[in-house]
Amino acid sequence: MQLSGLHNKVAVITGASRGIGRAVAERLAGERTHLVLNSRKEEPLKAVAEACMAHEAETVYLCADVGEAATAEQMVRLALHRFGRLDVLVNCAGAVIEAPLGILEDEEIQRQVATNVLGVTWMSRAALKPMLKQRSGVIINFSSVLAARPGRGNAVYAGTKGYVESFTRAMAAELGRKQIRVNAIAPGIIATDMTRPVMNLAGAAVLERIGLHRVGTVQEVAAVAAFLASDEAAYIHGAVIAVDGAFSGF
């Protein structure tokens, strides 16, 4: 069954070349949403765009770094030039480098802050220009279970995701009267390239911390994103939704 309010809408998705970002793109493509995709790597992004077009979803893409303010402006201009509007922004691009703070290099800290903090900020600011004119829109940010339950080696990453959650709530307070909904998704341990090293090293111990005793799938996260983007979630605003199988919950 199709979700209401997504057919022929226009969505910008960052970090769309793999993992959760790719799954969100393909799920929205299945809803016949027009897509503007972003990643820093062209070949995998092109492959995702082709997969989305196979669902008969009009799709364009831009390879650029969301940590730079100019990228956000380019993405929104591309959406407006190609489709004439922007209805949904999914801030999925993320960078994580697991290491104790004391040994992180400057560029490793800067990469995480640029992508996870500035990328979300630049993209949201750029998207607001057409959304405010339309008096409608949806922004979906991606946090992490580590924002609330960080572990060793996650100080910078967890801190950036804490920003995402506070930013989401503040933007919701600011934009509700403008009929622009802002929510965040906080995935737990999801089967992606990012989590594979952890699962290979300590998979049994990780599963013991998950209430459902299994890792999640990118499709399960994408389903929540599609729901939040749809009219079915019209009264969900300012929420941070955990998709984590009750990580450390039992």
User: What is the residue extent of each domain of the chain?
Assistant: 10-190+217-242
Residue 247 DSSP label: B
CA distance linking residue 74 with residue 76, whole number of Å: 6
Distance of CA 130 to the CA centre of its chain: 20
157 included as an active-site residue = yes
| Torsion-angle region of 56 (φ positive above 0: left; ψ -120 to 50: alpha; else: beta) | left
Q: Which is the catalytic residue, given 61, 157, 163, 235?
A: 157
Q: pTM surpassing 0.75? A: yes
Q: Are 115 and 95 in contact (CB under 8 A)?
A: yes
Q: Are 181 and 139 in contact (CB under 8 A)?
A: yes
Q: What is the pLDDT along the chain (250 residues), one digit of tens a residue?
A: 689 999 999 999 999 999 999 999 999 999 999 999 999 999 999 999 999 999 989 999 999 999 999 999 999 999 999 999 999 999 999 999 989 999 999 999 999 999 999 999 999 999 999 999 999 999 999 999 999 988 888 999 999 999 999 999 999 999 999 999 999 999 998 988 777 777 676 678 778 888 998 999 999 999 999 999 999 999 999 999 999 999 866 6
> What superfamily in CATH does domain 10-190+217-242 come from?
NAD(P)-binding Rossmann-like Domain (3.40.50.720)
Q: Provide the Cα torsion 99, 101, 104, 110; round to 10°.
A: 110
**pLDDT tens digit string along 118-163?**
999 999 999 999 999 999 999 999 999 999 988 888 999 999 999 9
